[in-house]
Copies of this chain bind each other. A is one copy, B any other.
């Protein structure tokens, strides 16, 4: 009975047209051109490497896409238990007509060719969006992205600020900032002015959010302009040789300044909390980052209090931080729970974390899911995984345990999946199409 109920709720949730509020899609190359773009995703390369495949086999320069796929398929047996592998299979079944449940050296080549054939269609990206029932996807744009030549109603710009906050000491970041803004940064005032220019540019291009990923030891603090002046001067003169203390002061100044502009420009600020970069430098591309789960949202106490007018959709990397997220979203009006990030984006953690959110955070303050994808083909299986878990949770914990009607449960799921994305990020038909009504 419970399985049938789950299936019915899933089907209703699966019929919704969605907006994906966080991806790494390149708006100019949103879809894959061969399966190498799919299996080249770090989720597969890092697992294959972890299971014993040499990095050099994966990262080899100028490697032919077909050969890259053959090599990876050959090494995927040890991964076929993972949920990541299941995304690949579901994608191949839904998009490329694959009918089995394992892709091996015996059947990969036909699939490769069928996929390449499909991907050659000029409207492939649109096909993928349509089949995935996606109306729009948020991007993750470098601060100096020109944001040109794409439809910002489908590919929604989002200002990513990691480089500014954590890497301003790098000469190339300083150069990119100068190029993008025309500002000669020398102190707090000029840096603030440059950041304002970035926000104006993104806002002019219909950006709907600002975003940043943060290491576990970051605890944002307001610093004075005088302190910032010193730090900025030092970063521009010493660059990477600037001391850790100066870098930290500059990071704090920039983070706080960016938040101020989020307030001024009316943009939510996505905080993705908890990642340590480059923990395994010998790993494959994008497969080097890990974390220290000893992080607390108490580190953001001053920030959340200082900016009641800024909405903070918060993602946490470790499931052990999820209860704090639930509690902070339950108390602070400006804290929103946001998706299931990276190492917590697997069924056991999603179920545990989702259950806790659904029963204690106001239903208007939960963004259910984002795909975090690099190629459009991933939204379908990732969202399908989430919708199955959402259906399971609604069936078991609301309909069965709490006596909700199926209809009420579906409405809650719908709000988490779609409605809140519109209201939190001020996007979707009721806002962008307001002039049509």
Contacts and interface: CB of A to CB of B under 8 A. Distances in A.
A101 B404 CA distance: 9
Interface of A: 3, 46-47, 49-52, 78-84, 86, 101, 276, 279-283, 287-288, 290-294, 296-298, 301, 304-305, 308, 318-321, 323-324, 326-333, 343-344, 346-349, 352, 355-356, 358-365, 388, 392, 397-398, 400-404, 412
A293 B355 CA distance: 19
A101 B356 CA distance: 21
A179 B296 CA distance: 41
Contact of A293 (B324, B344, B349): B324
Nearest to A332: B280
A282 B362 CA distance: 18
A100 B261 CA distance: 46
Given A49-B333, A330-B50, A343 B358 contact: no
Contact of A3 (B298, B319, B400): B400
11 contacts: A50-B331, A51-B362, A79-B363, A82-B360, A101-B404, A279-B331, A280-B301, A293-B320, A346-B360, A348-B359, A352-B352
Contacts of A355: 347-348
A52 to B, nearest CB: 6
Query: 9 smallest A-B Cβ distances: which pairs?
Result: A348-B355, A51-B362, A78-B364, A292-B298, A78-B362, A292-B296, A81-B363, A348-B356, A327-B343
Given A51-B365, A292-B296, 13 more contacts: A49-B333, A50-B331, A50-B332, A51-B364, A79-B362, A101-B403, A279-B298, A280-B332, A288-B331, A323-B344, A347-B359, A348-B355, A392-B401
Given A280-B331, A330-B47, A331-B280, A294 B291 contact: no
B318 A324 contact: yes
Nearest to A345: B360
A318 B298 CA distance: 13
Contacts of A291: 298, 324, 327
